């Protein structure tokens, strides 16, 4: 099972990249964050068997020109990098 910390870290990362591309901050929209978290959880489970996955949330939000879709690639390395600050201390006494 994927930890909530990992899901949050990856979702924040993807939301930041989405904002950089579109100018829309989905972290301000409760429904968008819920959809993103659900898709991140699914994507992390797929990463257990693959080295990279596509994270796709159609119509995650509305932009000035209509619906916006989140489509991004997530790799094992991305997850390691994003979670290294809270997984690096696991098991240390």
Alpha-carbon distance of 70 to 30, in angstroms, equals 15
Across the range 12-23, mean pLDDT stands at: 97
- Does a structural domain hold residue 76? yes
- Does a structural domain hold residue 70? yes
Question: Domain limits at 10?
Answer: 4-81
Rounded percentage of the chain residues whose pLDDT exceeds 70? 90
Provide the number of structural domains found in the chain. Answer: 1
- Does a structural domain hold residue 90? no
Q: Is 57 exposed, middle or buried (0-12, 13-18, 19+ CB in 10 A)?
A: buried
Give the model's confidence band at 1: pLDDT under 50 very low, under 70 low, under 90 confident, else very high: very low
Q: What is the pTM of this model?
A: 0.87
pLDDT, tens only, 57-88:
999 999 889 999 999 999 999 999 999 987 55
Alpha-carbon distance of 88 to 54, in angstroms, equals 26
C-beta separation of 85 from 17 below 8 A: no
- Does a structural domain hold residue 40? yes
- In CATH, what number is assigned to the domain containing residue 55? 3.90.640.10
pLDDT at site 88: 53
- Look at phi and psi of residue 54 and say left if phi exceeds 0, alpha if psi is from -120 to 50, else beta: beta
- Does a structural domain hold residue 37? yes
């Amino acid at each position: 099972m994927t930890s909530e910390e990992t899901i949050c870290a990856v979702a924040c990362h993807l939301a930041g990249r989405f904002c950089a591309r579109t100018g829309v901050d989905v972290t301000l929209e409760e429904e968008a964050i819920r959809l993103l978290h659900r898709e991140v959880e699914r994507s992390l489970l797929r990463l257990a068997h693959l080295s990279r996955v596509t994270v796709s949330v159609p119509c995650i939000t509305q932009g000035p020109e209509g619906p916006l879709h989140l489509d991004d690639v997530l790799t094992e390395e991305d997850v390691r990098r994003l979670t290294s600050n809270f997984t690096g201390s696991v098991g240390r006494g």
